[in-house]
Structure 1
Amino acid sequence: MQKLPIVALDFASKNEVEHFLELFNEEKLYTKIGMELFYQEGPRIVESVIASGHEVFLDLKLHDIPQTVYQAMKGLGKLGVSMTNLHAAGGKEMMSAGLEGLKEGAVISGKKAPHLIAVTQLTSMTEKRMQEDLLVAVSLENTVLHYAKNAFESGLDGVVCSSLEATMLQEVLGNEFKKVTPGIRLKGDSKNDQKRIVTPAEARQLGATEIVVGRSITRADDPVKAYQLVLQQWQGVEME
C-alpha cells in the first residue's frame, strides 16, 4: 500500500475544501480535518470528503472526563474515518474509555473501527513553555515518552508527537506503534507557529510512521506540485 502524507485541510468552509480537492482530479488523498473546519461544518464535511474517496484523520483532540469522551467517541466511531485522536494528558482511564466508545460506535454503524492515537505535546510547545506555563518539571522528551507509554498501555494505536521524538518512541514501543508527526515543512517554508519542525525526508529518517502537512501544501502557489514534492521526499523517491 502506498504510504501517503496526511494533508491538513485547514480551511474555514466546505467550499474551500472542495475547491482544494478539485485540484487533485482523480487522485485520492489522506486528509486531516481539524477543529477549525469541523466546528464550522460539522459531521457533514467528514461525510463529504469520505464520499469523494479520500481518507480522513479526524483531529479533534478530545480531552474531558472519561464518560464524556466515551460518548463522544461513540459518535465519532460511526463516521467512517480512518483515524482520530484524544489528549494523552487526560490519563489512562479517559483513553481507555475513548477507545471503548470508538469501537462501539463502529460496530453500531457497521464500519471498521478507526485507529485511535493520543496527543503527547503539541509541536508548538517548547520545553521552557511547558515547564513555566504548565508547571511540568520534567523534560519535554520524558513527558512525551511517559504519555506515549500510557497510550500504549491503554490499547491505543499510537501517538501524535514531533518527529524529533519518533526515534526514541520507536526504540521503546516498536515499529508498529504509530508516530504521527505534524510540524512538517519543506525547506524554505515559514515555521509559522510551529517550534519543533522537520522536513518530510527527515521525518522518514527519524522513524515517523505518518506525517501531517498543512500550509506547505495548502498555501503553496502550486499545491499539486508541492504535494508531489512532499510525497516523493516522504517515500524516499527524491532526497533533499
Structure 2
Amino acid sequence: MNIKERIIVPLDVPDEQAAIALIERLECVTFWKVGLELFTSTGPKILEVLKSRQKRIFLDLKFHDIPNTVAGATRAAARYGVDLLTIHASSGKDALKAATEAAYVGATDAGVKPPKLIAITLLTSISSRQLAFDLKIPLELPEYAQHMALMAQEMGFDGAVCSPQEVSQLRQTSGDDFLLVCPGVRPTWADKGDQARSLTPAQAFKAGANYLVIGRPITADPNPELAWKRIIEELVT
C-alpha cells in the first residue's frame, strides 16, 4: 500500500454538491471519510457517488447506544460495502460484540465484504484535564485510550481510532494486525485548531499508525491540491 492510500481525507461539507466538488478537485485522493454532517444531509447517496468513482470509504458515524440499537445500525451500515466503520468503545463490551456479529450478517446479506470495525477510544479534542475534570474519569489519558482499544480488540474489532500520541504504546500492546487510525494529525505548517493531542504525519506513521485522517490542513487550504501534494512530498522524502 503506497502512502497516498494511507491518508484519509474527510468530506466535512454540508451537502452532496459540495462533496462532489471536493472529490473532483482532489481526484488524487483515494480514501474519503464520510461523517455525521454529510451522511445526515445526503444519506447513503454520497456513498454511491464515492463507490462509482472507485474510492475507498471510511464511514465515521461513531455509533454509541445500547447493544440492540448498535447492532441494528451496524447491520444496516455493513450493507453499504464501506471499508471502515466506527463505533464508540464506551458503548461497552456487549454492544461491541453485537456489532461484530451484526457487521458480518449485514454484509453477507448484501453480498459485500464486511467493513473493518474501528473503535473510538477517545475523541482527539479531549485533553487530559477534560478527561479528569469534565468526564470524571480517574485514569491517565493514555491508559484510558489503551484500555478502550484493547477491550474492542478482545470483542473482535479490527482496529481503533486514537490520538497519534497514543499510537506507539497501542502498537506495542495490540500487535501488528490491529489497525490504528489517527485523526488530529497536523503538518508543521498547519494550524492545530481544536486538536489537543497532535503529531505531524511523519511522526504518526513512525509511531505505528496505519491510516491518518487529515482534514482542514488540506480542505481548508486556499489551494487544497497543493496542500495534498505538499503533505505527500514531505512523507516520501
> How far off is 1:231 after superposition?
2.7
Correspondence 1:150 to 2:151: yes
Q: Equivalent of 1:23, from 2, 25, 36?
A: 25
Letter in 2 for 1:217: I
Number of the residue aligned with 2:236: 237
Number of the residue aligned with 1:2: 2
Q: Deviations over 1:115-156 (max 9, x none)?
A: 001000111001110111111011001101110110110010
Letter in 2 for 1:193: D
Number of the residue aligned with 1:58: 59
Instruction: Look up the SS of the partner of 2:136 in the other structure.
Output: coil
Number of the residue aligned with 1:76: 77
> How far off is 1:232 after superposition?
3.5
Question: Using a 3 Å threshold, how does the CA distance of structure 1 residues 184 and 14 change in structure 2: closer, same or farther?
Answer: same
1:168-207 matched pairs, under 5 angstroms: 168-207=169-208
Letter in 2 for 1:189: A
Instruction: Look up the SS of the partner of 1:226 in the other structure.
Output: helix
> How far off is 1:7 after superposition?
0.5
Letter in 2 for 1:11: V
Letter in 1 for 2:17: N
Number of the residue aligned with 2:40: 39
**Whole-Å Cα distance in 1 between the matches of residues 2 and 21 of structure 2?**
25
**Whole-Å Cα distance in 1 between the matches of residues 116 and 188 of structure 2?**
30
Number of the residue aligned with 2:219: 218
Aligned-residue RMSD, C-alpha = 1.1
> How far off is 1:179 after superposition?
0.9
> How far off is 1:28 after superposition?
5.0
Instruction: Look up the SS of the partner of 1:117 in the other structure.
Output: strand
**Whole-Å Cα distance in 2 between the matches of residues 47 and 96 of structure 1?**
28
TM-score (norm 2): 0.96
Letter in 1 for 2:35: G
Structure 2 unaligned residues grouped into runs of 5+ = none
Aligned residues: 235
**Whole-Å Cα distance in 2 between the matches of residues 144 and 24 of structure 1?**
33
4+ long deviations beyond 4 Å = none
Contact 2:9 2:29 in 1 (8 A): no
Contact 1:28 1:53 in 2 (8 A): no
> How far off is 1:49 after superposition?
1.4
